[in-house]
Amino acid sequence: MEQSTEQLDEIESITLNHYNNNAEAFWNGTKDHDVTQNYEAFLAPFPKDKILDILDLG
């Protein structure tokens, strides 16, 4: 489904406003979150004896 430039601009505006209005609360809620178990689960399938180059886009 194609959307007009105006529709896309409106979606962008809504999204950016949401991010801007919630950024501080998100930061405060996640800054001390320990993600060690996430890293361990992600790395578990890879060989332990190889150096990995991982591109982090997040």
Q: What is the structure's pLDDT at 1?
A: 85
The 10s digit of each residue's pLDDT in 21-49 is 999 999 999 999 999 999 999 999 999 99
Give the angle subtended at the CA of 13 by the CAs of 7 and 18, to the nearest 5°. Answer: 130
The residue extents of the domains of the chain are 5-44
How does DSSP classify residue 44?
Answer: T
Euclidean distance between CA atoms 45 and 47, whole angstroms: 7
> What band does 3 get if pLDDT is binned at 50, 70 and 90?
very high
